[in-house]
Structures are given as C-alpha cells and as structure tokens.
Structure 1
Amino acid sequence: MIKTKYILLLIMGLSIMGCSDLEEDPIALLSPEGYFKSTADIQAAVDGSLTHAINEEIWGRKLSIALLLRSDMVDLQSDETRRVEMNTHTISGDNEMVYDPWTRIYLGISAANTAIAGADDVVEEDSVKNPVTAQAYFARAFYYFHLVRLFGDVPYFDAPVIDAEAAKSVSNTPEAEVYEKIIADLQFAKTWLPETVASRSIPSKAAASSYLALVYLTMAGNDSGSEYFQMAFNEAKEVINNAGTYNLALDNDFQTLFNAEKIDASLEPIFALDYNNVEAEDNAYDQTAPMTGIRGDDDDQGWSVAVPAMAVYDSFDADDYRRRVSFQTEATIGGVTVDYTEFDISGHEFAANRPYIAKYTRFPGPYAKSNKRATSHNYSMIRYAEVLLIAAEAAVEIGDNASALTYINMVRERARRGGESTNGGYVEEAIPASAVPADLSGTVTVDDVLEERRVELAFEGKRWYDIKRRQLGEEVFGASGYEGAKPDWNSAVDYDTPIPDEELNRMPNVVN
C-alpha cells in the first residue's frame, strides 16, 4: 500500500491547473499504482507537470520579473524589498521571488518524475508509449535547466520521493552532473518526440533539439576552445536544416510574436507556455503585463514596476522596427494623450518618464482581465530566431564566419520587413520596410551576436542568463552599463542565486 507521504507529494506535484492546449484529470486524488494504465494517463501527468510553469510563481510573475530585474535592461520603480534585492543583486535567503519559483519548479519536476515512473506500469509498445513519456523527460529537463542556471549545484531527483523523511538527507548535485542529466533527458526526448505538434505548448523534436543547442551553448560559457560550441552549432544547424520538416520559420512580422490573437498561427515559436483561453483562475494568473505597464494608463492601469532604463531605449536604433514593437512611448492617462516625457502625469510616486515595455501590454488577447492580468499570451520559451542566433554565436566560436553571417543576417533581415505594428495608443498601422538593421559584413564577433540577442530577445527573460553564461557582470553592471553602476554587484557570488533558507533548514546537507 502506498505511503501517505507519497500521496501528499503527488497531490502537490500534480495540482490541477488551467491551460488551453493541455488536458488534465484529477490524478492527484488517485494512487499512481492504480492510475497509470494507458498513455492517456501518462499524458495527464505530463500536462500536470508542464502547467506548473504558467503559475504566478514561475512565468506569471515571480521568476519572469526576477529575470528582468536581474538583467541590465530593466530597472525597478518600486520599494518592495524582494524586488529591490533582485535589482541590486543583494538577494537574501528569504526572498519569495526565489523561494516561490524554487518550490514551484520542484513541483513540476515531481509531476514529471511521477509520469516517467508511471509509464513503467503502462503495457504498450514503445512506439506508442515513448512519444508521450518523452514529454515528461522534456519537462524535467526544462525545469532543471532553469534551476541549474539560477542556483548552480542543486538537489536532483529523478524519481518520485516515496519517503519524505529520507529525502531530507539529500545533498547538492554538482552543476556538471545536473547538466549531464539534462542532456540525457533531452536526447531521449529528441529521439521519441514527434516532428510536429498541434500546439507549440506541446514538446516536439525541434523543441528538444533547440534546447540541447542552448544547453551546450550555456555549458561552453566563455571558453572559446570548448567542444560544446561545436555541439551547440551542430544541434542548432539540425533544427535549421529541418525547419521545413518541423514547420518552423521566422514570422514575417515581429509584432505577431507578442500579439495573443495572432501568435497561434505563427511558425516561429518552438516551445511556448500557453495562456490562451484561460479564464482568470488563480493558478494561471499572469501579472507580467501589469508589472511592466504604465501607471495610470487608461488602457491597462499598469503598476510601473519593471521599467527599462532610458539608456536601454536609446541603445536601440530609432529605425529598427523592433524598438517600436518592444517599447511603448505614448499613453492616454486620465483622458490626456501624452508621450513618455509626461508619463508621471498620473501623479504616482513610481511613474517613470521613459518608454515602457510594450511586448506584453499591447495585445494581451480577449481573456485579459483588470490590469491585463490572466492574459491570453503565449510566451515563447525558445523560438526560431533564437536558434539562428545560437548557431551564429557558436559559428563564431568554431571559426565558421560564413555561417555566422548567414544566420545573424536572417534575423536582421526579418526586422527590416516592418509590419502591422502600433503607435502608443495600440492602433494598428502599416510600418513599411526599412534599411535598418543592415546586414552585417566582414567578420562577425561574439559581441555582435550578443548584441543581436539583446535587441531581438529584449525583455523575454533571456538577458540575465546571457550575462551569467558569458560572465558579463563586471562590464554591464559597471558605471558604463545601461542602468549605471550597481555597487553591490559581486561577481564572486552574485552569478548564483542563494538557495532559500527554508530549504537549507529542511535539508541540512544542501548548502549554498
């Protein structure tokens, strides 16, 4: 008979959460020994794992905003201690923006482990069962990849925890070993996942391969001689060469990627967190839009929390269509239409007179509620443009300048196309093609690719991870950085997030 503690863990790991393209059953109420009888049961467990990511504690606010604030592109307009710590890199062990994502990620891992273990009880041919089980391997790798980049050495669980007391004796798994396990999970996923899927929120072969490329790029770090750059290039090239088979392409209009009513038809997302058609249930609450929205704006009544520094806006070429899509420079506040130099007309102490992030407030879709919470957004965790830039960066490092030019210029060419963008009042208008950004020529450098990533992937939760993997902290948080000097930055300790105090107390063998 299954132990009570196992049932409690299962309840936490498979909590029922809303997501339009994932189907869930209340399997947390059943013993796993009696539940897993078919691939449909495995699928239900997988969906329970993946939907943890759209919880407010991960991509609905806590982790997504933390990643923005820790970068060099988003400043803070708030005096909340937990957010100040993120922005200044003075993170304490009791910060809920650390503890909540940590806890939620491990719940997602727990659910994935339960799906994988439960699959052993399902009597089906591998050709039937493994493509579904592979989604659980992908989910586990997805969660651990966030953990290892955030914390470094972390406790690693690859099976359901039956004895909760025994689990307290767990210790940190070295970062290198965690990466080995992530790679093994993604390789299994790549072997068995289908080439195309009904929704980009469902893991595919392209998603596994794309994440493998990013994992290898991350592992290479600053080591220009690392074999991982070649591995990253090979994996990204495989996705690019099979783009037709995988039904992938750059979207013609950059704005579409941030339009909740259009993105479902886009071929660019490879793996996404899908909030579409989710009513305002607490467990699918998305607060990214209000956190980045303008205080007092008649359209969204944002909270003016995470706001780019003025130097960030100025760093974008004025003729680059991506600046228009990424920033909001006009708003109607109290019935008065103003540009960003007068955003403080609301009179709120945190209203900032500078352009705000527009990617999440402009087209949140029909399910956006008050302050544009509970949106209909699909958040691209990895998209085709990033795979091209992974290939470009890796190509630079392995001395393949021709490939680096090809791939970086594909991304720049799309930006030149213009599209149906908006003005500050969210009115769609045709933006004609332009000559900016021009194709690069000559020798591509790592800095060229990192800059392209900074502009192309702005405010998508990527920049902090780039800063860490390339060890850019001393440069970007110095006096010449976009946000000015961050005097508390300490490269000796601040690249890793402190493991929550509560977890250290619960598991005495786990250390920072």
Structure 2
Amino acid sequence: MKNLHKIIISLGLVIGLGACADLEEKPIGVFAPETFFQTPKDVETAVLGAYGVIASENLFGRQFICALQFRGDMITIGNRATSAERIQMNDFNMDSDNGMIRRFWPQWFQAINAANSAEAGGISLDLPDNEINYLIAEARFVRAFSYFHLVRVFGDLPYINFPVTDPTSLKTISKTSEAEIYQGIIADLEFAKQWLPNKQKNDVRTRPSAGTAASYLASVYLTLGDYQKAYTEAKFVIDNKDLFGYALEANFENNFNANIADNLKETIFAFDFLGQISGSNGQNDDSLVPMLAVLNLTGGYGVSVPTQAVYDTWDARDYRKKVSFVDTLVVNGVKRPYKDFSTPRPHVGKWVKLPGNANAIGRYSDHNIADFRYAEVLMIAAEASAEINGPNAEAAGYLNQIRARARNWAGTQVDFPADVMPSMSKPEFIDLIIEDRRLEFAFEWKRWYDIKRRNLGEKVFLGPNSLEPQPTFDPSRDYLMPIPDSELRINPNLAPNNPGY
C-alpha cells in the first residue's frame, strides 16, 4: 500500500493539481478529458491524483480534520499562542474570512474536479461496462466522499459533477440545495456499491470497495434521519463482513499504530501517508501528530488538546481511555506527569504514540488516517435499529461487540465496560449509543457531526455538564461554517452567506 501511494504524489501534478486561492478564479485539474484519457490507466491516474489532493496538509493532513476536532466538545485550544484562525474556529466566533476555511474549501473542489475528470474520461473511452465502470465508480465515490464532508460543513454550496475545462464558466454558478446535493451523493454511492470490487487489489483500504460504498451510504442515511435505509446498508455490510474482510481489531490501539497500518481489518477507508516524504502543494504532509503533541517536552505544537473534563469523566477502567490519552511522558529517563506539560492537561494519545517513520515531532508520519472504521458500521446499525424498533437485543448486540473489544487491555481481559441490556427507555438507549460513539471515536472528528445531526450544541456547549463550555455558541449560526469571502467576491451568485456570517 505504501508503495502504491508513492505513485499518488508524483501523479498529482499530471492532472494539473497546482496551487490556487479560489475555485472560481483558477480551478484545479483543468484539462480536456478527450485529449488526456486514452486508456483505463489514465483514468486510474486521475483517481489516484484525487487521493493525493485529499491526503494533503489542507485536508486530511491537518486543516480540515483539525477544524472538525475544534468544533466538537472533546478538544479545545491548548497553546493559545497559536494562530487566530484556529482559536476562532474553536471558540465559535469566526468570520467568513477565516484562514482555515480559505485553505480547505478550494482543496475539496480540486479533489472533486479530478474525480469529475476521471469519470468523464472513463466514459469517453466507450469501453464495455465491466472494463471501465469499476474506475468510474471509484471516481464517483471520491466525489460523493468529498461532497458528504462539504455539505455537512457548509450546507448549500455549488454542486459540480462535470469536469471544468473553462474557468470562466464557474464565475456564475449558483449554490445547490442540501437536498439535491445529498441526492447526488446517494446516486454516486449506489453506483459505487454496484461496480466497485468486494476487495481492492492486495486488500488495500485506501481505495474503496463495495463495502466502503455501502458503509458510507449507511452514514449518509443516518445523517438524514432515514433510519430504515441506514439500518439496511449497515446490516448489508455486517452480513457480508467476511466477503469484504472487515472485523474489529482485537487490540483497540492497533487502529492508531502506523507500523501496522496496512494490515488492519477494521479500516474501511483511509488516506495513506508516507513516512518523511512530502509532495508539492502540501501533498502527503501529515501534520496531525504535531498538532496534538506536547509543546514543551516533545517539540510538538500543543494546539489540539482535550479539556480536563474529558479526561476526568472517562472511567479509567476503559482501555480506550489509556489508548486515547498521553498523561505521562518519559523524557531523558524521567517520568513527567501531565502537570509538567506546557498545557497542564492530558493530551491526545491516538496517532501520537506510534507514528512510525516520522520526523522528530511526528510530522510526515506513516499513518493511514482512517475516516471510517468497522466499529462505526456496528454503531450505525445499533442506532438505526433502536430508532426503528426501540431498545432491542440486536441493537445491544452490536454495541456490545465494541464494548467487548474495549475490555481487552492488549491481551488482558477485564470486566469493564459491561455489556448493555436493552431494558431502558428508547431515549436512554439512544443517549447511551451516542455516548459510546463519543468514547469510541474520541478525537476522530466524528463528534462534531454527531453534535450537529442530533442538535446537541446547546446541551454540550451551554449546558451545566458541558465538557467544553463555549458561551458564544449560537445554534442559529454555528451548525454551518461560512462560505469564504474570497469566493463571494468572485461569484456573487453564491450569496447570501450562511446565516450569521
């Protein structure tokens, strides 16, 4: 897998993935499919280039996933000397000129345009379905993946499902409604589910399979509150887990160990970063670890740090807590407790402890940054089943698989957390599932999406039991981020901005 993704960095520039500030001003990936695409290999080149755009500093290397971490209630700013744009993102007081948004908005559209070009190029070859549709399906998966993140963050926004060959054509494009964007996402994922293989070559998890597409369909339907379809898709993945090669890792920490990242059965979809290698325009720049690492004792940036309440309220008998935090460090043979950290709180342990072949502060790691794990399929099935039928043994069983794994302390079995019994009210059971999602996916940028889809903002930021009080949180504004001002200046048709900006 690592060798495969060395290709991505070199192929990114083949399809014109140079730097730009604005989508409408200088679109990325501008080339004519009819002249570039001569063989299926050319289509694959474009798809791999799209992955290279996403596995970059502006998206899954740092900016985008850190923005999602800041918006949740599990991480806040540790080093307040960091850039104002990060503090504004975290504190719910940003404006529409926020620098983080200005970085990741155009980068997502670069990936989308590469996917659109790959799709159009594949169609232009006029080959039999069984010779080309698996690559067209992969391109459509990338587009769906990109828009699924974008629509949850921005709401209405331009939906572009064609390759951009004339930059001026985008200066008058208008926003598309969330509902229509979700229709496009679902259509793309259905096509991907139909045509993608059950496993990719060498079982790589950084390219999608039919199981990947079904898993994201389940998540899309859960987000939309269509619990029957969410359950159907999740159950399909669970029933065919052996066909797709999915299973929970016996040791929870394996999911964040860069040294074994290529062999994880739990990974459904991830982005493969290469140790100590960087490409043009931030490609392969994994800066997540230094964002999380202790400032004064490791040389990390110490920016994204859990609140003390997140640590204190997590039962120490849960192995996931041990994996998820760094609360002591050994420096020059001396054990240093977290009170000695520059921000005197426990820091994130996921990804930080085992970055593989990285530089001294964990940058340019060997991690495969996973956006979807099999544990989430089980969680979706549990939540959807409970929404449809109330608390039931099947839903509890899915949750208990995850809890059983949490009782395995790297080979030593303990008795916490205990199995769940479906003998509570429906609201209590749903709350329990959401709480278990918070712990299972702590710091994995899932929490913000759960807060938004469950309308929990006032409870988790303004309520008496808030883990991260944010008095400026405004539910009429803060469930969406603003479209960058730079985009509105170039294309007034994107106005008005989201409410409150």
Normalised TM-score (structure 2): 0.90
Output the aligned Cα RMSD. 1.8
* Distance in 2 between residues matched to 1:372 and 1:263, nearest whole Å: 15
* Inter-partner Cα distance in structure 2 for 1:484 and 1:130: 47
Deviates more, 1:210-219 or 1:122-131: 122-131
Equivalent position of 2:453 in the other structure: 469
Contact 1:200–1:271 (Cα < 8 Å) also in 2 = yes
Q: 1:38·1:123 contact (CA, 8 Å) conserved in 2? A: no
Cα 1:280–1:337 shift into 2, 3 Å: farther
In the alignment, the residues of structure 2 paired with residue 498 and residue 231 of structure 1 have an alpha-carbon distance, to the nearest angstrom, of 30
Residue of structure 1 aligned with 2:380, choices 374, 387, 390: 390
1:195 to 195, 198, 204: 198
Native 8 Å contact 2:274 2:284 kept in 1: no
C-alpha contact 1:290 1:373 (8 A) present in aligned 2: yes
In the other structure, the counterpart of 1:437 is 417
Percent of pairs with identical residues: 41
The corresponding residue for 2:210 is 205
- For residue 464 of structure 1, what is the amino acid of its counterpart? W
Say if 1:144 and 1:289 are closer, same or farther in 2 by CA, change over 3 A. Answer: same
User: What is residue 59 of structure 2 aligned with on the other side?
Assistant: 58
Matched residues in 1 for 2:87 and 2:8: separation? 36
Q: Check conservation: 1:82, 1:96, Cα contact below 8 A.
A: yes
The 3 A distance-change label for structure 1 pair 21 and 407 is farther
How many pairs align?
Answer: 468
> Which amino acid in 2 is paired with 1:500?
P
2-side partners of 1:363 and 1:150: how far apart?
30
Q: Deviations over 1:174-216 (max 9, x none)?
A: 0011001000000000000000123100111011000000000
Paired residue for 1:44? 45
CA distance in 2, matches of 1:252, 1:406: 17
Deviations 1:347-395 (A, max 9, x none): xxxx2111100102100011x1131100100111111000000011111
Aligned mates of 1:63, 1:236 — CA distance in 2: 26
Give the SS at the match of 2:42.
Answer: helix
Tell whether 2:497 aligns with 1:506. no
* 1:269 aligns with one of 267, 277, 287: 267
Give secondary structure in 1 for the equivalent of 2:413.
coil
Q: Which amino acid aligns with 2:383?
A: E
Q: Which residue of structure 1 lines up, in the alignment, with residue 470 of structure 2?
A: 486
Q: Is the 8 A contact 2:76 2:468 kept in 1?
A: no
Is the CA contact 2:214–2:237 (under 8 Å) kept in the aligned structure 1? yes
Report how far residue 31 of structure 1 moved: 4.8
- TM-superposed deviation, 1:81: 1.1
State the shift of 1:316 in Å: 1.4
Show CA shifts across 1:289-341 (max 9, x none).
011001122xx421110100011011211110000000001113466421112
CA-CA distance at 1:39 after TM superposition: 1.1
SS at match of 1:454: helix
TM-aligned CA distance change 1:94 to 1:385, over 3 Å? same
Following superposition of structure 1 onto structure 2, how do residues 206-355 of structure 1 map, counting pairs within 5 Å? 206-220=211-225, 228-277=226-275, 279-281=277-279, 282-297=282-297, 300-333=298-331, 336-343=334-341, 351-355=342-346
**Residues in 2 aligned to 1:21 and 1:393: alpha-carbon distance in whole angstroms:** 39
Contact 1:24 1:44 in 2 (8 A): no
Is there any run of 5+ residues in structure 1 with no aligned partner, and where? 1-17, 221-227, 344-350, 420-430
Residue identity in the other structure for 1:86: M
Q: Does 1:94 align with 2:94?
A: no
CA contact (8 A) 1:327 1:357 kept: yes
CA contact (8 A) 1:312 1:482 kept: no
Consecutive unaligned residues in structure 2, runs of 5 or more: 17-30
1:483 offset after TM fit, Å?
Answer: 3.9
